[in-house]
Amino acid sequence: MVVSRSPAAGPAVEGRLRFGGVPLPLQEAVKVLGVEVDRELRFDGHIKHIAKNASHRVSALRRVASFLDRRGKLLLYKAQIRPYLEYAALSWMSCAASHTRRLDSIQRRAKRLVDAADPPDPPDPPALFEPVSPLDSLEHRRDVAALVVFHKAQVQGVPHLAGLRQPPRVATRSTITVLTSGDAVEAPRSRASQHQRTFVGRVSRKWNIFTAAVPHIQEMNTQSVKLAANRWRAVEAHPAEASDTVTLVTATVPQQTL
């Protein structure tokens, strides 16, 4: 497979790749460990495939929903459907926004099933629904997973993730609105929106904001980083609902002005 978006890239090497004297036909996509990688790195076919499988499973959940309570439906979704939407997500997170919205719509379908009222029974005492923890958005979960992996590469120095390490950023100025920390990295610059959505492009920017808001990142283990990233990502998604939390977190970061 020739990885390129140029129409002339394929014909330029057609017939020149041989194995044992036999020409190898070029492929439009190859599957690696369950992830379909296409020649343009758009992941259109992969997203279509996992969306189809997950949608079929939501339909199956609908058929058995009447036999389950809310907690049972939520457990079934988390165990049998959501893994399809998240498998190897950090490898294809650069896909188009329309693809991620398609996956979000599948989770919304499942959430409507989970939130649907259970069949009423004659209460003896009155039956009360147990509270069910809300579902985090798929983007929230991808960002948390990316920050955890980046922490393993950047702070813990895991050998097989060494290729993801980014050079530290030398901060020259810090203000109230632009926070800096000693753990910030150089975020790769690009005008291509797809490159900005790749793992390194997106997580580098998220990491710089995250480390500025969460002190002592060097002393945290993986579980602590995951919990902190979940809390921080929830605050970032709903800043109006957590303004007091933001004020408290930013107040702990020492400010320097020139």
H-run or E-run covering 37: strand 35-38
According to DSSP, residue 188 is labeled: P
3-state secondary structure 121-140: CCCCCCCCCCCCCCCCCHHH
| Residue showing tokens 């020149």 | 16
pLDDT tens for the 258 residues of the chain, in order: 888 888 888 888 887 888 888 888 888 889 999 999 988 888 999 999 999 999 999 999 999 998 988 899 999 999 999 999 999 999 998 888 899 999 999 999 999 998 876 555 545 454 444 445 578 999 999 999 999 999 999 899 999 988 888 888 776 655 554 455 578 888 877 777 777 888 888 888 899 899 888 888 888 999 999 999 999 998 876 654 444 444 334 434 444 443
Are residues 26 and 2 in contact, defined by beta-carbon separation less than 8 angstroms?
A: yes
**Which helix (H) or strand (E) is 30 found in, with range?**
strand 29-32
Grouping H, G, I as helix, E, B as strand and the rest as coil, residue 36 is strand
- In whole angstroms, give the CA distance from residue 96 to residue 198: 11
Write down the pTM of the prediction: 0.76
